[in-house]
């Protein structure tokens, strides 16, 4: 399993989002290695994207999004779930990719279809906010064998308040994969 380098994240967010499909999210806690294959993501394009948290500007919560690429942006939603993102593009661009679903590969207990369930099953919480994904313990990897899957493009979920940005096709998932969230 090859760990993705910082250069992978330091690129156009839509490209990073689509290329994250099929990659492996790895989280090691107390010697237990949990692995999920990424099958669904959403791209958030920066402060001009009204659906992105960074549209509010630099705040205590969004400072990770405004930071360098290749870091985890983890936040609590609705007081009971966590959402996991990877920060993309150059520092200050404040864009990210939300991981919406993974396919359980190893040591993953419970359902993983949806950003909240994914974090619960992968044991991802606020403590990982700001974690450098090019370091150990929590990162994204790729296997040598590359499989080309068909990518479906749809509007993002739960961002109807964002005007025309809500209609942009920035949700990507692997066609016919059973672990993609149902909405």
Partner DNA sequence: TGCACGATGAAC
Partner DNA sequence: TTCATCGTGCAC
CB of 180 to DNA, least distance (A): 11
Of 118 and 146, nearer to DNA (C-beta) is 118
Q: Which residues pair with 101 in a beta bridge?
A: 40, 113
Interaction of residue 173 with DNA, rule CB under 7 A: no
Structure tokens at 17: 């989002």
Is residue 75 close enough to count as binding DNA by CB under 7 A? yes
Closest to DNA by CB, 44 or 138: 44
Number of Cβ atoms within 10 Å of the Cβ of 127:
10
Going residue by residue from 23 to 62, which x/- string records binding to DNA, judged by CB under 7 A? -------------------x-x------xxxx-xx-xxxx
Contact 141, 2 (CB under 8 A): yes
Given 144, 161, 164, 178, the residue binding DNA (CB under 7 A): 161
CB of 109 to DNA, least distance (A): 13
Q: Contact 151/172 with Cβ under 8 angstroms?
A: yes
Residue 73 touching DNA (CB under 7 A): yes
Q: Which of 116, 130, 141, 155 binds DNA (CB under 7 A)?
A: 116
Let me know: does 62 contact 85? Beta carbons within 8 Å: no
Specify whether the CB–CB gap between 155 and 167 falls below 8 A: yes
Q: Does 177 bind DNA (CB under 7 A)?
A: no
CA trace torsion 37, 121, 67, 48 (10° rounding): 80
Straight-line distance from the first to the last Cα atom of the chain, in angstroms, rounded to the nearest whole number: 32
- Point out which residues bind DNA (CB under 7 A): 42, 44, 51-54, 56-57, 59-62, 65, 73, 75-81, 83, 85, 96, 98, 111, 114-118, 156-159, 161, 181
């Amino acid at each position: 399993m090859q760990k993705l380098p910082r250069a992978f994240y330091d690129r156009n967010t839509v490209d990073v989002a689509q290329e994250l499909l099929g990659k492996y999210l790895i989280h090691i806690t107390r010697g237990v290695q949990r692995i999920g294959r990424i099958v669904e993501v959403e791209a958030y394009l920066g402060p001009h994207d009204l659906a992105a948290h960074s549209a509010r500007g630099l705040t205590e919560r969004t400072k990770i999004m405004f930071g360098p690429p290749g870091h985890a942006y983890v936040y609590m939603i609705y007081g009971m779930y966590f959402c996991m993102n990877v920060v993309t593009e150059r520092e200050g661009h404040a864009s990210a990719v939300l991981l919406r679903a993974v396919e359980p590969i190893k040591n993953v207990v419970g359902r993983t279809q949806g950003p909240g369930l994914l974090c619960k099953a992968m044991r991802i919480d606020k403590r990982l906010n700001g974690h450098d994904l090019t370091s150990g313990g929590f990162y994204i990897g790729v296997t040598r064998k590359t499989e080309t899957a068909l990518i479906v493009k749809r509007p993002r979920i739960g961002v109807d308040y964002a005007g025309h940005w809500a209609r942009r096709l920035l949700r990507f998932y692997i066609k016919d994969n059973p672990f993609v969230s149902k909405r």
